Structure 1
């Protein structure tokens, strides 16, 4: 059933977020409780902080009832460790957004350049046709 929940989550989240934070999890069910097994404390804390509403919705959709959700991870982080990791991840995410914006801008510029190159090619072809037409021998007809 957890694979069904993950399938629902994969449609609710960006593919990058899903692959990074959810895909590697497993889960077990005890009565009305779903225990999600995270691979590390950072994953657990990140899911807890950002994705619990999505998980609650997905579980309710699959199981057709509200369930208690518990996250587990080996080697828990201290609050200080978690905050350092959180700040680091936020900084990385901002850098990623900036890079994506720059890539998008460059892609738009490349499209404009392609259009300009196509226009120049059309003009070049036209001029070449004109020049080749002028080089054709002109037949003259003389009337006597």
Structure 2
């Protein structure tokens, strides 16, 4: 069941966020509770803060009902370690969002270029057909 939830999550999140925070998790399920086993406390905190609503939506989609979600991690970090890692991860997330926006912009530009190339091909094809006809050339008359 958790693998199905992860598949749904992979479509809801950026690929980098999914691979970084969700892909390495495992989960166990009791009657009305799903426990997600994180690999470290930073992962647990990050998921809890940023991705819990996505997880709840994906679980409801897969299971057909809302379930309680618990997160577990093997050991804890000091507050200073946590804050350093947290700030670093926020910086990485912002960079990821910025890069994804740039990629989207380039994709749009490529689509426009592809449209222009298609138009040029149509014009070229038309001219080639026109030149390939056996008709007599048009006589031009010049008036002086």
TM bracket, shorter-chain basis: 0.5 to 0.7
Q: Quick one: distance in 1 between partners of 2:130 and 2:118?
A: 18
User: Are residue 7 (structure 1) and residue 8 (structure 2) matched?
Assistant: no
Q: Shift of the alpha carbon at 1:68? A: 7.8
Aligned to 1:39, the other structure's residue is in SS state coil
For 1:120 and 1:96, locate their aligned partners in 2 and report how far apart those are by CA, in whole Å: 36
What's the TM-score once normalised by structure 1's chain length?
0.65
- Measured in 1, the distance between the counterparts of 2:105 and 2:4 equals 33
Structure 1 gaps, min length 5:
139-144
Task: Return the offset for 1:29.
Answer: 7.0
- How far apart, in 2, do the equivalents of 1:101 and 1:137 lie? 55
User: 5+ residue gaps in structure 2?
Assistant: 138-144
**Bigger Cα Rg:** 1
**C-alpha distance after superposition, 1:109-136 (max 9, x if no partner):** 11111111111122122222222336x5
Secondary structure in 2 matching 1:73: coil
- 2:70 is paired with a residue of what secondary structure? strand
Aligned residue number for residue 117 of structure 2: 117
Pairs aligned (count): 131
Residue range with higher mean Cα deviation, 110-119 or 121-130: 121-130
CA RMSD of aligned residues (A): 3.5
Aligned mates of 1:107, 1:30 — CA distance in 2: 44
